[in-house]
Amino acid sequence: MTQSLASIREKLIQLEAQTQELSENFVQTYQQYIQQLDQVLQQQLILAIHQVCTHLYPDEFLQLNFSDRQQFQSQVHQLSGQFQTKLTSLLHHQGVQFPPALVPPTDTSALTPAKRFSHPEELVQWCRRLEQGLQLVLEELSHTANQHLQAAQILPNHLPPQVLEMALQAQENGMNINRSKIPHVLSLLVETNQRAEANQEEGAAEEDNDGGQVSKLIAIHLRLTDIEFADSSLGLLRKQLRQLVERLKKLHKYHHQLQRESRIAEAERAWQSSWSIAAAQD
Protein backbone atom coordinates (compact mmCIF):
# COMPACT_ATOMS: atom_id res chain seq x y z
CA MET A 1 0.00 0.00 0.00
CA THR A 2 1.28 3.43 -0.95
CA GLN A 3 2.16 5.69 1.96
CA SER A 4 0.37 8.98 2.37
CA LEU A 5 2.10 12.14 1.22
CA ALA A 6 2.11 13.45 4.79
CA SER A 7 3.89 10.32 6.01
CA ILE A 8 6.45 10.47 3.21
CA ARG A 9 7.15 14.15 3.80
CA GLU A 10 7.65 13.50 7.50
CA LYS A 11 10.20 10.82 6.66
CA LEU A 12 11.95 13.18 4.25
CA ILE A 13 12.25 15.77 7.02
CA GLN A 14 13.76 13.14 9.30
CA LEU A 15 16.15 12.08 6.54
CA GLU A 16 17.29 15.69 6.04
CA ALA A 17 18.10 15.92 9.74
CA GLN A 18 20.08 12.67 9.54
CA THR A 19 21.94 13.96 6.48
CA GLN A 20 22.85 17.21 8.23
CA GLU A 21 24.16 15.28 11.21
CA LEU A 22 26.15 12.98 8.91
CA SER A 23 27.59 15.95 7.04
CA GLU A 24 28.89 17.36 10.33
CA ASN A 25 30.56 14.04 11.06
CA PHE A 26 32.12 14.06 7.59
CA VAL A 27 33.46 17.59 7.99
CA GLN A 28 34.94 16.88 11.43
CA THR A 29 36.52 13.60 10.34
CA TYR A 30 37.92 15.04 7.11
CA GLN A 31 39.28 17.97 9.06
CA GLN A 32 41.22 15.62 11.34
CA TYR A 33 42.23 13.48 8.37
CA ILE A 34 43.63 16.36 6.33
CA GLN A 35 45.53 17.85 9.26
CA GLN A 36 47.10 14.47 10.02
CA LEU A 37 47.75 13.82 6.33
CA ASP A 38 49.54 17.15 6.08
CA GLN A 39 51.98 16.19 8.83
CA VAL A 40 52.61 12.67 7.55
CA LEU A 41 52.96 13.81 3.95
CA GLN A 42 55.64 16.35 4.82
CA GLN A 43 57.72 13.64 6.43
CA GLN A 44 57.23 11.06 3.70
CA LEU A 45 57.83 13.44 0.79
CA ILE A 46 61.11 14.62 2.28
CA LEU A 47 62.11 11.03 3.04
CA ALA A 48 61.33 9.89 -0.52
CA ILE A 49 63.41 12.69 -2.04
CA HIS A 50 66.18 12.00 0.48
CA GLN A 51 66.25 8.35 -0.59
CA VAL A 52 66.40 9.30 -4.26
CA CYS A 53 69.33 11.64 -3.62
CA THR A 54 71.33 9.39 -1.28
CA HIS A 55 70.52 5.82 -2.35
CA LEU A 56 69.44 5.93 -5.99
CA TYR A 57 71.40 8.89 -7.39
CA PRO A 58 74.18 9.59 -4.84
CA ASP A 59 76.76 10.52 -7.50
CA GLU A 60 74.49 13.11 -9.08
CA PHE A 61 73.65 14.60 -5.69
CA LEU A 62 77.33 14.77 -4.70
CA GLN A 63 78.10 16.73 -7.86
CA LEU A 64 76.11 19.65 -6.47
CA ASN A 65 78.15 22.21 -4.61
CA PHE A 66 77.19 23.19 -1.08
CA SER A 67 75.19 26.24 -2.18
CA ASP A 68 73.23 24.30 -4.79
CA ARG A 69 72.45 21.55 -2.28
CA GLN A 70 71.14 24.13 0.16
CA GLN A 71 68.98 25.73 -2.52
CA PHE A 72 67.59 22.36 -3.60
CA GLN A 73 66.86 21.32 -0.01
CA SER A 74 65.15 24.65 0.63
CA GLN A 75 62.87 23.99 -2.36
CA VAL A 76 62.06 20.53 -1.02
CA HIS A 77 61.27 21.93 2.42
CA GLN A 78 58.98 24.59 0.98
CA LEU A 79 57.25 22.06 -1.27
CA SER A 80 56.55 19.67 1.60
CA GLY A 81 54.67 22.39 3.45
CA GLN A 82 52.37 23.36 0.58
CA PHE A 83 49.88 20.49 0.73
CA GLN A 84 47.20 22.02 2.92
CA THR A 85 47.40 25.44 1.26
CA LYS A 86 47.08 23.93 -2.21
CA LEU A 87 44.26 21.64 -1.15
CA THR A 88 42.28 24.42 0.55
CA SER A 89 42.68 26.66 -2.48
CA LEU A 90 41.60 23.93 -4.91
CA LEU A 91 38.59 22.93 -2.81
CA HIS A 92 37.57 26.56 -2.39
CA HIS A 93 37.45 26.96 -6.18
CA GLN A 94 35.41 23.75 -6.40
CA GLY A 95 32.91 25.08 -3.88
CA VAL A 96 33.97 22.66 -1.15
CA GLN A 97 33.86 24.60 2.10
CA PHE A 98 35.43 23.81 5.45
CA PRO A 99 35.36 25.40 8.89
CA PRO A 100 37.89 28.22 9.45
CA ALA A 101 40.17 25.83 11.35
CA LEU A 102 41.20 24.27 8.05
CA VAL A 103 41.77 27.53 6.22
CA PRO A 104 45.32 28.92 6.16
CA PRO A 105 45.50 32.35 7.88
CA THR A 106 46.60 34.02 4.65
CA ASP A 107 43.48 32.89 2.77
CA THR A 108 40.90 35.17 4.36
CA SER A 109 38.58 34.91 1.34
CA ALA A 110 37.68 31.34 2.29
CA LEU A 111 36.74 32.08 5.91
CA THR A 112 33.19 30.82 5.55
CA PRO A 113 31.36 28.26 7.66
CA ALA A 114 31.02 24.75 6.29
CA LYS A 115 27.77 24.08 4.46
CA ARG A 116 25.43 21.63 6.20
CA PHE A 117 23.86 19.44 3.53
CA SER A 118 20.22 18.44 3.75
CA HIS A 119 20.15 16.06 0.76
CA PRO A 120 22.37 12.96 0.51
CA GLU A 121 23.18 13.69 -3.16
CA GLU A 122 24.75 17.03 -2.19
CA LEU A 123 26.90 15.32 0.42
CA VAL A 124 27.90 12.60 -2.05
CA GLN A 125 29.11 15.24 -4.53
CA TRP A 126 30.94 17.12 -1.77
CA CYS A 127 32.83 13.98 -0.73
CA ARG A 128 33.62 13.11 -4.34
CA ARG A 129 35.08 16.56 -5.08
CA LEU A 130 37.12 16.44 -1.89
CA GLU A 131 38.64 13.05 -2.69
CA GLN A 132 39.38 14.20 -6.24
CA GLY A 133 41.04 17.27 -4.76
CA LEU A 134 43.28 15.11 -2.58
CA GLN A 135 44.44 13.12 -5.61
CA LEU A 136 45.00 16.22 -7.75
CA VAL A 137 47.13 17.93 -5.09
CA LEU A 138 49.26 14.80 -4.58
CA GLU A 139 49.79 14.60 -8.35
CA GLU A 140 50.79 18.27 -8.45
CA LEU A 141 53.25 17.85 -5.58
CA SER A 142 54.72 14.75 -7.23
CA HIS A 143 55.14 16.61 -10.52
CA THR A 144 56.80 19.60 -8.83
CA ALA A 145 59.13 17.33 -6.85
CA ASN A 146 60.26 15.62 -10.05
CA GLN A 147 60.81 19.00 -11.68
CA HIS A 148 63.05 20.08 -8.79
CA LEU A 149 65.03 16.83 -9.03
CA GLN A 150 65.49 17.28 -12.77
CA ALA A 151 66.39 20.96 -12.46
CA ALA A 152 69.10 20.01 -9.95
CA GLN A 153 70.30 17.38 -12.47
CA ILE A 154 69.78 14.62 -9.95
CA LEU A 155 67.21 12.88 -12.12
CA PRO A 156 67.94 12.64 -15.85
CA ASN A 157 65.96 15.19 -17.82
CA HIS A 158 66.53 13.87 -21.34
CA LEU A 159 63.23 11.99 -21.33
CA PRO A 160 60.15 13.86 -22.57
CA PRO A 161 57.82 14.94 -19.72
CA GLN A 162 54.91 13.08 -21.31
CA VAL A 163 56.72 9.77 -20.75
CA LEU A 164 56.55 10.27 -17.00
CA GLU A 165 52.97 11.46 -17.14
CA MET A 166 51.95 8.37 -19.13
CA ALA A 167 53.75 6.12 -16.67
CA LEU A 168 52.03 7.70 -13.67
CA GLN A 169 48.67 7.47 -15.42
CA ALA A 170 49.27 3.81 -16.16
CA GLN A 171 50.04 3.25 -12.48
CA GLU A 172 46.80 4.93 -11.44
CA ASN A 173 44.86 2.80 -13.94
CA GLY A 174 46.14 -0.38 -12.32
CA MET A 175 48.55 -1.44 -15.04
CA ASN A 176 51.54 -3.57 -14.06
CA ILE A 177 54.11 -0.89 -13.31
CA ASN A 178 57.04 -1.78 -11.06
CA ARG A 179 57.43 0.33 -7.95
CA SER A 180 60.72 0.58 -6.12
CA LYS A 181 61.05 -0.66 -2.55
CA ILE A 182 61.12 2.96 -1.43
CA PRO A 183 57.65 4.37 -0.65
CA HIS A 184 56.41 6.96 -3.14
CA VAL A 185 59.21 6.22 -5.62
CA LEU A 186 58.38 4.76 -9.02
CA SER A 187 61.01 2.82 -10.97
CA LEU A 188 60.41 2.28 -14.69
CA LEU A 189 62.16 1.04 -17.79
CA VAL A 190 60.98 3.08 -20.76
CA GLU A 191 61.91 2.81 -24.42
CA THR A 192 62.52 5.93 -26.47
CA ASN A 193 63.84 6.69 -29.95
CA GLN A 194 66.84 8.52 -28.56
CA ARG A 195 70.33 7.04 -28.91
CA ALA A 196 72.34 5.98 -25.90
CA GLU A 197 74.70 8.93 -26.35
CA ALA A 198 71.96 11.10 -24.85
CA ASN A 199 73.28 9.92 -21.53
CA GLN A 200 76.98 9.06 -21.24
CA GLU A 201 76.89 7.45 -17.83
CA GLU A 202 77.49 3.73 -17.80
CA GLY A 203 74.42 1.71 -16.93
CA ALA A 204 72.05 4.66 -17.18
CA ALA A 205 70.76 3.48 -20.57
CA GLU A 206 71.24 0.66 -23.04
CA GLU A 207 70.27 0.25 -26.69
CA ASP A 208 67.82 -2.42 -27.77
CA ASN A 209 68.09 -4.46 -30.96
CA ASP A 210 66.16 -1.87 -32.95
CA GLY A 211 68.54 0.94 -32.06
CA GLY A 212 66.17 2.50 -29.56
CA GLN A 213 67.07 3.39 -26.01
CA VAL A 214 65.81 1.70 -22.86
CA SER A 215 66.20 4.09 -19.95
CA LYS A 216 65.64 3.66 -16.26
CA LEU A 217 63.24 6.26 -14.96
CA ILE A 218 62.93 7.11 -11.29
CA ALA A 219 60.12 9.40 -10.22
CA ILE A 220 58.39 10.63 -7.09
CA HIS A 221 54.80 9.39 -7.04
CA LEU A 222 52.80 10.23 -3.91
CA ARG A 223 49.91 7.86 -3.22
CA LEU A 224 47.26 8.07 -0.51
CA THR A 225 47.32 4.31 0.07
CA ASP A 226 51.05 4.36 0.83
CA ILE A 227 50.72 7.39 3.10
CA GLU A 228 47.84 5.86 5.06
CA PHE A 229 49.64 2.53 5.35
CA ALA A 230 52.64 4.20 6.98
CA ASP A 231 50.63 5.98 9.68
CA SER A 232 48.21 4.07 11.94
CA SER A 233 46.25 7.14 13.07
CA LEU A 234 45.73 8.19 9.46
CA GLY A 235 44.61 4.68 8.57
CA LEU A 236 42.13 4.76 11.44
CA LEU A 237 40.67 8.05 10.19
CA ARG A 238 40.33 6.55 6.70
CA LYS A 239 38.46 3.62 8.27
CA GLN A 240 36.10 6.07 9.95
CA LEU A 241 35.54 7.81 6.61
CA ARG A 242 34.69 4.50 4.96
CA GLN A 243 32.14 3.83 7.69
CA LEU A 244 30.60 7.26 7.13
CA VAL A 245 30.48 6.55 3.39
CA GLU A 246 28.55 3.34 4.05
CA ARG A 247 26.02 5.28 6.12
CA LEU A 248 25.78 7.86 3.36
CA LYS A 249 25.12 5.19 0.74
CA LYS A 250 22.19 3.89 2.79
CA LEU A 251 20.76 7.40 3.22
CA HIS A 252 21.23 8.07 -0.48
CA LYS A 253 19.36 4.90 -1.41
CA TYR A 254 16.61 5.63 1.10
CA HIS A 255 16.27 9.18 -0.24
CA HIS A 256 15.73 7.89 -3.78
CA GLN A 257 13.17 5.43 -2.46
CA LEU A 258 11.22 8.16 -0.64
CA GLN A 259 11.35 10.44 -3.68
CA ARG A 260 9.89 7.69 -5.86
CA GLU A 261 7.18 6.93 -3.31
CA SER A 262 6.37 10.64 -3.14
CA ARG A 263 5.93 10.85 -6.91
CA ILE A 264 3.72 7.75 -6.87
CA ALA A 265 1.58 9.17 -4.08
CA GLU A 266 1.25 12.49 -5.95
CA ALA A 267 0.30 10.67 -9.15
CA GLU A 268 -2.35 8.64 -7.33
CA ARG A 269 -3.80 11.76 -5.75
CA ALA A 270 -3.84 13.51 -9.12
CA TRP A 271 -5.56 10.48 -10.67
CA GLN A 272 -8.25 10.45 -7.99
CA SER A 273 -8.86 14.19 -8.21
CA SER A 274 -9.61 14.05 -11.92
CA TRP A 275 -11.14 10.56 -12.06
CA SER A 276 -14.24 11.47 -10.09
CA ILE A 277 -14.93 14.40 -12.43
CA ALA A 278 -14.35 12.28 -15.54
CA ALA A 279 -16.64 9.57 -14.24
CA ALA A 280 -19.36 12.09 -13.42
CA GLN A 281 -19.20 13.53 -16.94
CA ASP A 282 -19.85 10.10 -18.41
Residue 207: enclosing H or E segment and its boundaries?
strand 205-207
How would residue 89 be classed by pLDDT, with cut points 50, 70 and 90? Answer: confident
- Domain spans of the chain, in order of start: 5-157+224-273
> Mean per-residue pLDDT for 60-80?
96
Provide CB contacts within 8 A for 107, sequence distance 6+: 85, 88, 89, 92
Q: How far apart are CA 221 and CA 195, in angstroms?
A: 27
User: Worst-scoring range by mean pLDDT, 86-90, 121-125, 233-237?
Assistant: 86-90
Does residue 202 carry a pLDDT above 60? no
- Residue 58: the pLDDT is 96
Tens digit of pLDDT for each residue in 244-256?
999 999 999 999 9
Look at residue 106 in the predicted model and tell me its pLDDT: 42
pLDDT per position as a tens digit, 110-137? 333 456 888 999 999 999 999 999 999 9
Cβ atoms < 10 Å from Cβ of 270: 10
SS3 64: coil
Tell me what pLDDT residue 181 has.
79
Segment of 12-16, 208-212, 270-274 carrying the highest mean pLDDT: 12-16
- Quote the crossing angle between the two packed helices 120-151 and 66-80, to the nearest 10°: 180
Work out the mean pLDDT of the chain and round it to a whole number: 81
The angle formed by the CA atoms of residues 34, 40 and 42, to the nearest 5 degrees, is: 100
- C-alpha torsion angle, residues 239, 242, 247, 249 (rounded to 10): -170
